[in-house]
Structure 1
Amino acid sequence: MRRVKVTVRSRPISGDRRTLYLDYYPAVRIPETMKMMRQETLGMYLYDKPKNQIQKRHNESTLAQAEAIRCLRVQAVINEEFGFLDKQRLNTDFLEYFRKETLMRNCSWASCYKHFKTFVGGKCTFAQINVDLCVKFREYLLKAPRFDTSAKALSVNTASGYYRKFRGLLAIALRDKLLQENVNLYLDRIDVKPNKIEFLTQQELLNLSKAPCEIPVLKKASLFSCLTGLRYSDVQRLEWSNIVPNLEGTGYNIRTRTKKTQAEISLPLSPDALELCGERSDGVVFIGLNRNMLNAPLRRWISEAGITKHITFHSFRHTYAVLQLASGTDIYTVSKMLSHKHVTTTEIYLDLLEETKSKTIGRIQIHKDHDPDAA
C-alpha cells in the first residue's frame, strides 16, 4: 500500500509574503464531499524577507502551527487507512448525521429521530454513542409518550420499529467509519406483539359502500383502497398521470412507485375502482384527502354502516387481500399486487381466510347485492 505524504509548502502572495498550504501526495479523498484533494490552504502566511524580530518571531510561530496541523493531518490519513477514528470525527454531531439520514427516508424515521433528540436533550456526538446509551434509549422507547397525545405511551410495536431504525442507523454509521465499534452486537431488539388483523367481509364492504359518509373524498378513497389494496400514502398521492391504459386497450392500470417500499407496481383497475376516481383531470386524484379524516370521521362512517370492528384505513388493504384470496386468486398474484417482497408476508392472510372462509367467499364488489352462497 502506497503511503500518503503530507508536506508544508508555500507560494508567494502580495506584500512580500508567502501563504502556507499542505501538499498531499498522492491526493486524498474527502469523505464529506467524496472529492479528491491534493492541496489544503491553511490560511497562514510568512514574511518572505523578515525585516525585524517581530516578523521573525511571527514566521517561527506560524511554521510551528503549520507543522502541528500537518502532524494532525498525517494522523487522520493513517486512521483512515487502518480503520481508526480521529478525535475530530468522534466530536462530529451525531444528531445532525441522524437528521440528514432521516431526510432520505420515510416519516417513521423522522419520528424516531425526534424521540432520540428528546432522549439526549438535543445534543449528542459520535463519541457518546456507546452500548450504555443505546440500551437506555431502548428503555426510553418502551416508556415514551406519543407526541400527538402525551396521555398514551408508544405501543410496543411502534417502539420496536423505532429501535430497529435506530440500530439500522448505527450500522450505516459503522459503514461510514464514524463509530469506534459495532454497538449493535451488544443490543437486544424490542420484540413485537402480534396484532389482530381486522378486515371487512364482502357483506360488510357492501354495507359500507351504501352507508352515508360526511366526507365524500374519504369514502371514495377508502373504497378505492378496498378495491386495489393500496396503502393510504399511495392513495393520497395518486395522480391521474399514474392511471394509464393497459396494453390490451380494454381498461386502465395504475403505474406508480410505492412510498413505503419504493417498489414499482402495475395494478389493473376494475370499473368500480375507476368510477371512484371521478372525472379525469390533472394532478392528484383524491383532492383534499388528509390524515385528519382517518380518525373521528372514519369511525363515524364505519359506525353508520353498522360495523363494530376496529377498522382503520389500513384495514382496507387487509380487506383487499383476504377477499381476493377468498375469490380464488392465487397467493403469488395477491403478493405481487400488494407489492410484498416475499410471499411469506402474504401468507398471514391465508390463516385469516381459513378462520372466516364462510364469510368471505365472493368477488370484491360494491355496486350490486351479493349472495355469498352463489359464489
Structure 2
Amino acid sequence: MKQITKTQVTVRLRKAEDRNEWYLYLEIFPVFIAGKEEPQRVREYLNRSVKTIEWDKKRVARTNLKTGVKSFKPKRDDNGVIICRGERDCETMLYADGIRKLRQKEYDNADLYNESDTLKAQLQEKQKEKFTNYCKLLLKKRHGSANSSDSIRTNWKCLIEFIVEFAGDDLRFSKIDLSFADDFKMYLLSAPYRGKKKGTLSNNTAATYFSIFKAIVSQAFIDGYFMTDLSAKIKGIGDQESFREHLSIDELNLLFNTPCDNDELRRASLFSALTGLRHCDIKRLRWKELDVQTNRIKIQFRQKKTKGVEYTPISEQAIQLCGVPRLPEQLVFENLQDSSWISRPLEKWIQAAGITKHITFHCFRHTFATLQLSLGTDIYTVSKMLGHTKVTTTQIYAKVVDELKDKAAGAIKLNTTVQKKTQEFLQSN
C-alpha cells in the first residue's frame, strides 16, 4: 500500500525588521527529500508584503520572555485566507492563496500518482491539444526569422492547409496514429495543387510535404505529445527522379547575345549559370561578399537554404556580370525581382532567343551543375561548389550527363551499306 505524505502548504507572515510590514511566504511540511532521513520544512517566499493585517487578539502566537510582549496570529476567513483591511493587501492575500492552492495540488498529485501515472496524466492533457496549432507554433519557432527560406515556409503553410482539408482544423493529437499517417499519405498522393496550378501533386511534392509532417510528429514526441516515437514507424513517400531541365553551352551563348527587357534579370540569370548560386542567394548578395584578389575571385556568403557559410570561386566573366562595384553594404543585383515575379519576363526572354525548353530561374543552377560535370569537373568539386550537404544530391546531375553521353555515343554512325555490298561481292567471287 502506498504511503500518503499528507504534505500541508500554508501562507505565513514574517515581520520586516526595519518597517511596519510583513513578508508573505509558503510553509510546506512535511517534504521528503532524497538523502535526508527526516522530513523537511520548506519555505517559498512570494516577493510580496502587506501592512493592514487583522490580528486575532484571542490567539497568541508567541510571548517575548524578556519583555512580556505578546504577538498574535492573523485572522483568517472561512477559506483560510488572511484578512486585511486595505484593498490592495486583500488582493495580495488572494494572490498568495492562489499560489498556495497550486502548490498544494502539486503535492497532493504527487501523493496520488507515481511518476508513470503523472506522465500518463500529462500525456492525456497534451493529447487534447490541437495538432494544427502545434504545427503553426513549430513553424514560427523553426522558420519564423527573416533568414529562413521563403520556400520552406511556403511548404510548411501548404502542409498545414492540406491537414485542415483532410482532417479539419479541430484535429487533436489523440487522433494522430499510424493509421492516420497512412491515410494522410494516400490523400497527399492524390491531392490537387493549390492556387492556379492544375492537376494533382507530383510524387516529389507530396514526398516533401509528408516529410515535414513526419518531422513535426518527431518533434511532438520529443515535446511529450506521444509515448513512443511515432515518426520512426511511419514510412515516408519515396522520391522519384525528376528531370532537371538545363541549357547547353550553345543555348547559353544564344541567351547571352539576346536582348532582354530586364537587364538585371538577364545578368543575374547568366551569373547563376556561371556560379550555380540560387535566386535567393543572388538576390541578397552584397558587394562586401565579393573578394577580388590577384588572379583569384571568390564569394564568401551564408546560404539561405542550408545556413552553411560557403566559399565559392567565380570566373572573371561572372564578376563582369555584376556591373560597376558600389558600397560594401549595397546589393550586387539591387533591382532583382522576387522569384514569383520573374517567370513572365524570363519566359519572354527565353522565347526571344528561340529556345523552346521550359526554363525557370532555377534551371540556370541546373545548367551550371550539368555543364561542369559534362566538361570533366569531378562530382565532389561540383557538390562543394553547389553547397550540397550530401554528394548524393549532386549525383542527380551526373545521371543527366550519363544520358547525354549515351546519346552522344550513338551520334556517329558508319555507313554499313557499302561494307555489306563489298562482302557480298567478295563471297560471290
Q: Note if contact 1:22-1:70 (Cα within 8 Å) is conserved in structure 2.
A: no
The alignment yields a C-alpha RMSD, in angstroms, of 4.1
In the other structure, the counterpart of 2:372 is 324
Contact residue 25 and residue 44 of structure 2 kept, 8 A = no
Q: Which residue of 2 aligns with 1:131?
A: 178
CA contact (8 A) 1:16 1:47 kept: no
Q: What is the match of residue 226 of structure 2?
A: 179
Deviation of residue 299 (structure 1)? 1.7
Correspondence for 1:309: 357
- The 5 A counterparts of 1:19-168 are 57-59=78-80, 67-72=104-109, 78-79=115-116, 85-103=122-140, 104-105=142-143, 106-107=152-153, 108-149=155-196, 151-168=198-215
**Once the 2 structures are TM-superposed, how far is the Cα of residue 146 of structure 1 from its aligned partner?**
3.0
Contact 2:272 2:368 (8 Å CA) reproduced: yes
* Cα distance, 1:162 vs structure 2: 0.7
* Structure 1 pair 261–74 and aligned structure 2 pair: CA distance change class (3 A): farther
> Structure 1, residues 97-144: CA drift from partner, whole Å, max 9, x if none?
322322323323343234334444333443333233333332332233
Select which of 263, 283, 286 maps to 1:239.
Answer: 286
Q: CA distance change for structure 1 residues 189 and 81 in 2, over 3 Å: closer, same or farther?
A: same
| Structure 1 residues 20 and 255: alpha-carbon distance in aligned structure 2, compared to 1, 3 A threshold | same
Match of residue 339, structure 2, among 273, 277, 291 = 291
SS at match of 1:265: strand
User: Matched residues in 2 for 1:359 and 1:266: separation?
Assistant: 35
Which of the two has higher C-alpha Rg?
Answer: 2
2:245–2:359 contact (8 Å) kept in structure 1: yes
Task: Check conservation: 1:170, 1:183, Cα contact below 8 A.
Answer: yes
Q: CA deviation at 1:6?
A: 7.7
Q: Does 1:276 align with 2:324?
A: no
After superposition, what is the alpha-carbon deviation per residue over 1:133-158, rounded to whole angstroms, capped at 9, x for unaligned? Answer: 33333233223333332644322211
In the other structure, the counterpart of 1:32 is: none
Q: Is the 8 A contact 1:202 1:359 kept in 2?
A: no
Structure-2 separation of matches of 1:318 and 1:109: 25
How far residue 47 of structure 1 moved from its aligned partner, in angstroms, is: 9.2
User: What SS is found at the alignment partner of 2:205?
Assistant: helix
- Per-residue deviation, 1:167: 0.3
Residue 91 of structure 1 contacts residue 127 of structure 1 at CA under 8 Å; is this kept in 2?
yes
| 2:267 aligned with 1:220 | yes
Contact conserved, 2:123 with 2:224, CA < 8 A, in 1? no
Q: Gapped runs of 5+ residues in structure 1?
A: 28-37, 361-375
Could you tell me how far apart the structure 2 residues matched to 1:132 and 1:224 are?
48
Distance 1:39 1:6 in 2: 14
Greater relative contact order, per chain length (Cα 8 Å cut-off, separation 6+): 1
* Matches of 1:13 and 1:111, distance apart in 2: 58
For the residues of structure 2 that align with 1:277 and 1:7, how far apart are their CA atoms? 74
> Structure 1's 341 and 74: CA in aligned 2 closer, same or farther, altered over 3 A?
farther
Q: Residues 270 and 364 of structure 2 are in contact (CA less than 8 Å); yes or no, is this contact kept in structure 1? A: yes
The CA deviation string for residues 29-50 of structure 1, in whole angstroms up to 9 with x for no partner, is xxxxxxxxx9697x9xx99869
| Distance of 1:40 and 1:153 partners within structure 2 | 62
User: Mind listing any 5+ residue stretches in structure 2 that lack a counterpart?
Assistant: 1-5, 16-20, 35-42, 59-74, 82-96, 144-151, 409-429
Q: Structure 1 residues 210, 73: closer, same or farther in 2, change over 3 A?
A: farther
Equivalent pairs: percent with the same residue?
32
The residue identity in structure 2 corresponding to 1:102 is: L
Answer with 73-82 or 157-166: which moved more. 73-82
For 2:323 and 2:28, locate their aligned partners in 1 and report how far apart those are by CA, in whole Å.
66
Q: Deviations over 1:335-372 (max 9, x none)?
A: 11111223232223223223324999xxxxxxxxxxxx
The whole-number CA distance in structure 2 between the counterparts of 1:125 and 1:19 is 40
In 1, the alpha carbon distance for the partners of 2:115 and 2:23 equals: 32
Alignment of 1:182-193 (within 5 A): 182-193=229-240
Q: Tell me the alpha carbon deviations over residues 254-280 of structure 1, each in whole angstroms, 9 at most, x when there is no partner.
A: 111212222221111211111111122
- The yes-or-no answer on 1:256 pairing with 2:301 is yes
Q: Is the 8 A contact 1:79 1:86 kept in 2?
A: no
C-alpha distance in structure 1 between counterparts of 2:286 and 2:367, whole Å:
23
Other structure's SS at 2:397 match: helix
Q: Distance in 2 between matches of 1:13 and 1:118?
A: 59
Contact 1:157 1:193 survives alignment (8 Å): yes
